[in-house]
Amino acid sequence: MSNGNTPSLNLNATHISIFVAALSLCTAMYQGYLNTQAVGVFARDVTHRETMRACREAVEYFMEAELRIERLARASRAVYGEKEIAEMGFDARRSVTRFAAVATYLANFNAGKLREPYTAITRDLEALAETAQAGKPADTGPVETKFYQLNENCVASVTPTK
Sign of CA dihedral 76, 80, 81, 85: negative
- What pLDDT shows up at residue 8? 52
Give the pTM.
0.72
Domain ranges (residues) in the chain: 49-158
* pLDDT in 10s for each residue of the chain, 162 residues: 455 555 555 668 888 889 999 999 999 999 999 999 999 999 888 888 888 888 899 999 999 999 999 988 888 777 788 888 889 999 999 999 999 999 888 888 776 677 788 889 999 999 999 998 888 888 888 999 989 988 887 777 777 665
- What pLDDT shows up at residue 6? 52
DSSP annotation of 10: -
- What pLDDT shows up at residue 16? 87
Helices (H), the chain: 13-74, 82-109, 115-133, 141-158
Backbone angles phi, psi at 80, to 5 degrees: -100, 145
**b/e per residue 100-116 (b: at least 16 CB within 10 A):** bebbbbbbebeeeebee
